[in-house]
């Protein structure tokens, strides 16, 4: 079922009335629109006087040097190419409140930058976004329990493929490179998210 942005915002604001920091998890396949939704929620909440911040999962990519050593560079973005323990520890720190510094992924450098964003004590709502936040297998299983409210963005596979191709065209990849990335990594990862994630409190079929 697809739900409205207004419904989601109302629920966030209702749950944010307590003194505890509210942690929202936005999950979905590559190219689904997770970042767009998270940034839009943040923008509207700030306009309404609700202090919020966005925490991207991409800051926990393993470094390319490590992936190359393990023979996993071509699978960058797959579930096993993230520091899941580090992400879980940071989410717990965020939930505890106070100031927390978080890493941010720089796609132009293909590199995670440590402590590149600050979640301030006044940020009462934190919106985490990433592919596998609700994945119910392997090291990711149980991560969903850390969130107070969960959201899944799940467009049709055909729409995901269109968006992913457009993304890699934007970054100047050749048609052969794009096919290898989309068919060999992005879409398999996307199908895994759609098939093996926990049910979310809110679901959007497009954003």
- Phi/psi of residue 147, each to 5°? -90, 145
Single pTM value for the model:
0.95
Contact 118, 150 (CB under 8 A): no
Per-residue pLDDT of 72-115, as tens digits, reads 999 999 999 999 999 999 999 999 999 999 999 998 898 999 99
pLDDT of 108 reads: 86
Q: In the chain, how many domains are there? A: 1
- CB within 8 A of 194, min separation 6: which ones? 29, 154, 157
pLDDT of 1 reads: 41
pLDDT band, very low/low/confident/very high, at 62 (cuts 50, 70, 90): very high
pLDDT of 206 reads: 83
Task: Quote the percentage of the chain above a pLDDT of 90.
Answer: 94
Mean of per-residue pLDDT scores for the chain: 96
pLDDT of 42 reads: 98
For residue 27, which of 206, 200, 163 has the smallest C-alpha distance? Answer: 200
Contact 153, 51 (CB under 8 A): no
Per-residue pLDDT of 113-170, as tens digits, reads 999 999 999 999 999 999 999 999 999 999 999 999 999 999 999 999 999 999 999 9
Q: For residue 150, give the CATH number of its domain.
A: 3.40.50.300
Give the integer Cα–Cα distance in Å for 204 and 98. 31
b (16+ CB within 10 A) / e for 128-167? bbbbbbbbeeebbeebbebbbbbbbbbbeeeebbebbbeb
Task: Quote the percentage of the chain above a pLDDT of 70.
Answer: 99
Enter the tokens of residue 85: 């323990």
Domain that holds residue 38: 5-204
pLDDT of 74 reads: 94
Indicate if the pLDDT at residue 70 is higher than 80: yes
Per-residue pLDDT of 27-44, as tens digits, reads 999 999 999 999 999 999
């Amino acid at each position: 079922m697809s739900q409205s942005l207004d419904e989601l915002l109302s629920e966030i604001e209702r749950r944010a009335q307590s003194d505890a920091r509210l942690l929202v998890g936005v999950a979905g396949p590559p190219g689904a629109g997770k970042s767009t939704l998270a940034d839009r929620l943040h923008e509207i909440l700030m306009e309404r006087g609700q202090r919020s911040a966005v925490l991207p999962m991409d800051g926990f990519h393993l470094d390319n040097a490590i992936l190359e050593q393990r023979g996993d560079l071509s699978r960058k973005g797959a579930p096993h190419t993230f520091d899941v323990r580090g992400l879980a520890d940071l989410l717990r720190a965020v939930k505890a409140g106070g100031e927390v510094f978080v890493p941010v992924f720089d796609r132009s450098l293909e590199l995670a930058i440590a402590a590149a964003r600050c979640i301030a004590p006044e940020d009462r709502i934190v919106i985490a976004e990433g592919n596998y936040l609700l994945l119910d297998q392997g090291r990711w299983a149980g991560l969903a329990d850390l969130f107070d409210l969960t959201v899944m963005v799940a467009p049709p596979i055909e729409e995901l493929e269109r968006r992913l191709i457009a993304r890699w065209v934007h970054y100047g990849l050749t048609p052969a490179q794009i096919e290898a990335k989309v068919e060999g990594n992005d879409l398999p990862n996307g199908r895994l998210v759609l098939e093996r994630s926990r049910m979310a409190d809110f679901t959007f079929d497009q954003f």
